[in-house]
Amino acid sequence: MEQQNFIPNWQNAIRWLYDQQQRGIKVGLENTRRLLNALGNPHLYLPAIHVAGTNGKGSVCAFTESILRTAGLKTGLFTSPHLVDFRERIRSNGEPIPIPDATEGILTLRNLTQNWTTPPTFFELTYALAIWYFSRQKLDVIVLETGMGGRLDSTNVCHPIACAITPVGLDHQQWLGDTIPKIAAEKAGILKPNIPCILYPQVPEAEDVIIHTARIVGAPIHHVKHPWPHPLPLAGPHQKWNAATAALLAQTAFPSIGESTIQAGLAKTQWPARFERLSDRIILDGAHNTHAIHALLQTWLDQKPLQPATIIFACLNDKNPAQMLHILAPIAKRFIFPQIQSPRAMPPSQIAHLVQNPILTPSTHHAIQAALQFPNPIVITGSLHLAGEVKAIFANSQTPIPTSQ
């Protein structure tokens, strides 16, 4: 958009930010540091809780923030991706960043960077926007979810008071490495001297790397040894481990927080598209890799359903649909593959040969309509982008602008 034609309003600001997705993904901290320096380095004055991992890190962040807010602390929460509204990524005391603040922050970043020879990426700008906003809110603590990896993730410029590493598995191999130890090394890059790290139970090859890194760095490790024993608003055995991780994380960062506050905070946590019941027939789960699909399967089996499910499935083009569909096959009556709107979506025609008698639809809306023609329960999974479209449909709103990060 030409400078002279740019009208400084929310629609143009968010459109400009989305346009930066064309720059793709770039690992490294140089641009993030440059951005924050231009803003006066506000991150230096924001105590942070930093969470990395392959799966469960969003849930751990949500649980942790809820505990801290229940304890009376003023909190910030940064997560990704969003489901329907970009502003979901940046929350202060549980509320999304207001449109006027988001507009002002994006325009500030646009003006700061428009002459850069190496412009920042969408994610770098989004993280800088979050820090800019949090610094104006006079918060007690911010909870940060890494976008990808850890060592070279934009969030790793934070000043943490505690951190956590959730289960490490194979995902984003083109960026993080093609083995569990290589990926674990990237996740362990968030460890810092004398900053305690809460470690979710890991497969041995990941735990060995993390423990070795912690010894070199001088980061004390606190192991999560038992799942959370009380009822939770999020279903599945894995969420009990996520909750236990969050409980230990919050109490390590703020030792004065008591058990009753932790239990109350966990009990009122909201985190959509995690085995979320949209109706008595429809389950929505944003599982988008094999580890997460395994967790979905276990949660489904724990519910003791009476009949196999109609599964609506879509994934992005860097995933392994064959493995995910193989895991889901025992509970599937049929598969429906919609074309989702993300520019990184894998076309249904590339997935169809992996199952017998697939149903292909031109959109998520059509997939839901097709699934409702059958009597079976419905499971919608494979991508958070698919989950976002479903949430938008159920909210009777516009389907979100596609985002790739």
User: In the prediction, which pLDDT does 405 show?
Assistant: 42
Q: Return the structure tokens found at 350.
A: 């590339």
286-334: pLDDT as tens digits: 999 999 999 999 999 988 666 899 999 999 998 899 999 999 999 999 9
Whether the per-residue pLDDT at 4 is higher than 70: the answer is no
Confidence of residue 3 (pLDDT cuts 50, 70, 90): low
User: In the prediction, which pLDDT does 193 show?
Assistant: 98
* C-alpha–C-alpha distance, residues 359 and 253, integer Å: 49
Confidence of residue 404 (pLDDT cuts 50, 70, 90): very low
Structural domains in the chain?
A: 3-267 (3.40.1190.10), 276-394 (3.90.190.20)
225-281: pLDDT as tens digits: 999 999 999 999 999 999 999 999 999 999 999 999 999 999 999 999 999 999 999
Residue 40 burial (CB count, 10 A):
11
DSSP 195-222: --EEE----HHHHHHHHHHHHHHT--EE
Chain position carrying tokens 């919609």: 338
- CA distances to 16, 18, 31 from 125, rounded to whole Å, are 11, 10, 9
pTM given for the model:
0.92
* C-alpha–C-alpha distance, residues 337 and 348, integer Å: 5
Identify the three-state secondary structure at position 141: strand
The alpha carbon of residue 65 and the mean position of all alpha carbons in its chain are separated, in whole angstroms, by: 14
Mean of per-residue pLDDT scores for the chain: 92
Confidence of residue 23 (pLDDT cuts 50, 70, 90): confident
Confidence of residue 177 (pLDDT cuts 50, 70, 90): confident
Whether the per-residue pLDDT at 143 is higher than 50: the answer is yes
* C-alpha–C-alpha distance, residues 138 and 70, integer Å: 17
